[in-house]
Amino acid sequence: MKKIIVLVFALALVPALVHAAENCGCVAGDLVCANNCALNKVNTAKKNIQADKQNVANSIKAQKEASKAKKEQAKKDAKAKKAELKAKKAQAKKDIKTKKNEVKKSAKDTKKALKAEKEAWQNLAK
C-alpha cells in the first residue's frame, strides 16, 4: 500500500517537474536537472517571500516612526499654541489695564477741567 501511495505521489510530481524542466532547459527525462530546477525555483520563491516580508516589516516600521514623529510635532505645535495664547492673554490683560488707567486719567483730567471751568464762571460772576 505504501509503495502505491509513493508511486502515485511520484507520478503526480512528474508533470510539475517536466514543466519546471521546460523552463530550465533540462533534457526530457533528466529528473535530477528537473528536481534541481524545481528546488531553485522554490528557493527563489522563498527568498522573494522573505524579501517581501522584510519590505512590509520595514514599511510598517517606517509608518510607525512617521506616525510617532507626527504625534510629537503635533504635541510641540499644541504646546507652542498654548504658550502663544497665554502670551496673548497676558498682553490683553496688560492692554486692558493700560486702557483702564487711561480712562481714569481722562476722567480725572475732565473732572479738573470741569472744576476749573466752574471756578472760572464763578470768578466771572463775582
Residue 55, in any domain of the structure: yes
Q: Phi/psi of residue 26, each to 5°?
A: -80, 150
Its pTM stands at 0.47
Residue 107, in any domain of the structure: no
Q: Which domain holds residue 35?
A: 2-92
When pLDDT is cut at 50, 70 and 90, the band that residue 87 belongs to is: very high
Give me the chain's average pLDDT, please. 87
Residue 30 per-residue DSSP state? -
Which three cell numbers, joined as nine digits, stand for 87?
502670551
Work out the number of other CB atoms within 10 angstroms of the CB of residue 26: 20
Residue 57, in any domain of the structure: yes
Instruction: Report d(CA 56, CA 54) in Å as an integer.
Output: 5
Q: Which amino acid is at 20?
A: A
Judged against a pLDDT cut of 70, whether residue 21 lies above it is answered with: no
Model confidence over 46-74: pLDDT tens digits? Answer: 999 999 999 999 999 999 999 999 999 99
Residue 20, in any domain of the structure: yes
Residue 121, in any domain of the structure: no
Residue 103, in any domain of the structure: no
Model confidence over 91-114: pLDDT tens digits? Answer: 999 999 999 999 999 999 999 999
